[in-house]
Structure 1
Amino acid sequence: MMALRKDVQNWPIVTACAGRMKEIKKALFDRMPPLWRHILVLWGIATIPALIIGAVTNAVAFLLEAPPPNFGSQHSDQWISAFQSIAFAPFVETLLLCALIEISTSLGVRKIFIAASAAAIAGLLHAFITLIWFFTSAWAFFVYACAYLAWRSASFSEAFAAAAVVHALNNATGVAMLFLIALTKSS
């Protein structure tokens, strides 16, 4: 709040947002037992902004007449893609995320930079599938990295679970929405 003028700092919207940002920062970077409750909190923090980001980027892509991403296009069966998104990808991608975090931590990199670099790397890798996924994946992986970092001091298994389960829930939300969209288009 130091960068804001004194009169602006007292505006109700500014003070309300500043308070919420402190709560979000605490939820991201501090372990909040029990693990299952923290996972649910982080799921909301990962998913709601990712949905908004996805809606905005899809709207921009639509206005630019870009071809829409095709869920399940790499397989003839969308159920295989759903399984990969909900079970396989969170497991493998979270293992890679853990390796990146452990290497970065051993080099003395600060938590915020670890989470930001994980977000950028994951966003870039997901952009190979479809450009729009850069934005949603970058935000989500920032949250997954924060989840791992928050629980890292407890144990590897808890830290891995915090990141992987939030990842799986986020992907499951996206898959469910895509299936609902497909159902409405077919009827």
Structure 2
Amino acid sequence: MAPATPTKRWHALLLALVTARRAGSLTLHCLLAWPAALLPSAAFIGVAYGLGLALGIDMAFFEAPEREGTFKEFFGMVVFAPLVETLLLAGLLALLSRMSRRPVFVAAASSVLWGCLHGSFGLLWLVGTFWSFYIFSCSYLAWRAQAWWKAYVAAALPHAVLNLTAFLLLLLD
């Protein structure tokens, strides 16, 4: 049997994410949503950074501001931001859902808005947050029919773990 290609592995992860929702496993969904948000976002940042370097652009302008790794930064990035942003995400998705009944469009519009907002921290964050907020939006929309709190957890928990990963990576820099 031939080894799975990266595309096949990616499709398997997305299928598992959808299957976890259908099976009703919020825990499994959250565990799968984190890499589904993280890996493509990291790839988009890498491609954008590489293109910028190849074009001779000074990438220091596009990078996120320096982090000191303080408890205040940790709390803000890993706890406060995901909790508050998910509340705002819920409201935005409710508003966008009134304009369109197509969840893919609603999630895509939400991700564009969130990407632009995060771009104020550094333009590479704009590129990196489009996909992750698409996953958070899809997660919220998929679980909203069961219960608001499940939708909230389905979006907020992978967001917090993604931000924890980013925080730890920023400390290594």
| Structure 1 residue identity aligned to 2:25 | P
Give how far 1:92 is off: 1.1
Give the structure 2 partner of residue 38 of structure 1: 29
Q: Specify whether residues 19 and 167 from structure 1 end up closer, same or farther in structure 2 by C-alpha distance, changes over 3 A only.
A: closer
Give the structure 2 partner of residue 65 of structure 1: 58
Listed as ranges, the matches of 1:11-160 within 5 Å are 17=7, 21=11, 24=14, 27=17, 31-32=21-22, 33-62=24-53, 63-67=56-60, 68-72=63-67, 78-160=70-152
| Structure 2 residue identity aligned to 1:97 | L
RMSD: 2.7
- Contact kept? 1:71, 1:78, Cα under 8 Å: no
- Contact kept? 1:29, 1:150, Cα under 8 Å: no
| Structure 2 residue identity aligned to 1:153 | A
- Contact kept? 1:98, 1:148, Cα under 8 Å: yes
Give how far 1:113 is off: 0.3
Counterpart secondary structure, 1:127: helix
Determine which structure has the larger helix proportion and give its number: 2
TM-score, structure 2 normalization = 0.83
Give the structure 2 partner of residue 185 of structure 1: none
- Residue by residue over 1:66-89, the C-alpha shift from the partner in whole angstroms, topping out at 9 and shown as x without a partner, is 3132233xxx76432222110111
Give how far 1:50 is off: 1.3
Q: Percent identity?
A: 28
| Structure 1 residue identity aligned to 2:66 | F
- Residue by residue over 1:33-82, the C-alpha shift from the partner in whole angstroms, topping out at 9 and shown as x without a partner, is 2111110101110011112222222333444113132233xxx7643222
TM-score, structure 1 normalization = 0.77
* Count of residues in correspondence between the two structures: 166
Q: Specify whether residues 131 and 19 from structure 1 end up closer, same or farther in structure 2 by C-alpha distance, changes over 3 A only.
A: closer
- Contact kept? 1:29, 1:149, Cα under 8 Å: no
Q: Specify whether residues 167 and 19 from structure 1 end up closer, same or farther in structure 2 by C-alpha distance, changes over 3 A only.
A: closer
Give how far 1:102 is off: 1.2
- Contact kept? 2:64, 2:125, Cα under 8 Å: no
- CA distance in 2 between counterparts of 1:45 and 1:115 reads 15
Counterpart secondary structure, 1:31: helix
Give how far 1:146 is off: 0.6
- CA distance in 2 between counterparts of 1:30 and 1:111 reads 18
- CA distance in 2 between counterparts of 1:79 and 1:134 reads 25
- Residue by residue over 1:100-130, the C-alpha shift from the partner in whole angstroms, topping out at 9 and shown as x without a partner, is 1112223443100011001100011111121
Counterpart secondary structure, 2:166: helix
